[in-house]
A and B are shown apart, each in its own frame.
Chain A
Amino acid sequence: SAVISQKPSRDICQRGTSLTIQCQVDSQVTMMFWYRQQPGQSLTLIATANQGSEATYESGFVIDKFPISRPNLTFSTLTVSNMSPEDSSIYLCSVEEWGEFFFGPGTRLTVT
């Protein structure tokens, strides 16, 4: 099974700033996913990132707010831009292998 690491594990940021979250996978994968889990809520897919193409965003999420990079088959970044307190969430990276989805430990973001 894929092993996923994320950096940072947590951060406290001021509103108006940006944070880039890194996701590293121990194997090559075609598709990587970014989810958001707001406090006390379920997971919502932000976007799907394929290597070599632009990310596909879900309804309600836009590239200007959540730019994503996918430079190779084992790495991706998600940037949360111009942050507001409403962006306080856990952000999780996920990959799919043989029909199973594996998740990273998450990045807990608090915006003050």
Chain B
Amino acid sequence: AQSVTQPDIHITVSEGASLELRCNYSYGATPYLFWYVQSPGQGLQLLLKYFSGDTLVQGIKGFEAEFKRSQSSFNLRKPSVHWSDAAEYFCAVGAGTGFQKLVFGTGTRLLVSP
């Protein structure tokens, strides 16, 4: 069965520092991978997605992610974190017949210190 692991429950980063959030997936075929952000009291917003092609994917808000098939990973990065980036980040894999649903990781809460 498909699964997603986000090994870091919480991460604290200083404002202006770089960020990397880890995501590992388990999926038998070529995965469709997503990163979402959930700010307090708000819904989920898609940051970026990977379907195929270039393994380095650019997203919104200055985020990027790199798909590494050999490591079954899809880590999210940002070169310089802003205080407004503090939120919950979810990695997800498209699963099911015909890619009919998302399986989410447990999430990583990002805290940004001054």
A53 contacts B by Cβ under 8 Å: no
Q: Are B49 and A100 in contact (CB under 8 A)?
A: yes
Taking CB atoms and an 8 Å cut-off, the chain A residues in 56-112 that contact chain B are 92, 94, 96, 99-106
Nearest-Cβ distance from residue B51 to partner chain A, whole angstroms: 6
Interface of B is mostly: strand
Q: Are B49 and A41 in contact (CB under 8 A)?
A: no
Interface of A is mostly: strand
Taking CB atoms and an 8 Å cut-off, the chain A residues in 9-34 that contact chain B are 31, 33
How big is the B interface, by class?
Answer: 20 to 34
> Which residues of the other chain, A, contact B102 by a CB distance below 8 angstroms?
33, 43, 45, 94, 101
> Which residues of the other chain, B, contact A51 by a CB distance below 8 angstroms?
none
One digit per residue, 1 when the CB lies within 8 angstroms of any chain A CB and 0 when it does not, for chain B 80-114 equals 00000000001000100001111111110000000
B30 contacts A by Cβ under 8 Å: no
Which of A's residues lie within 8 Å of B, judged by CB?
Answer: 31, 33, 41-45, 48, 92, 94, 96, 99-106
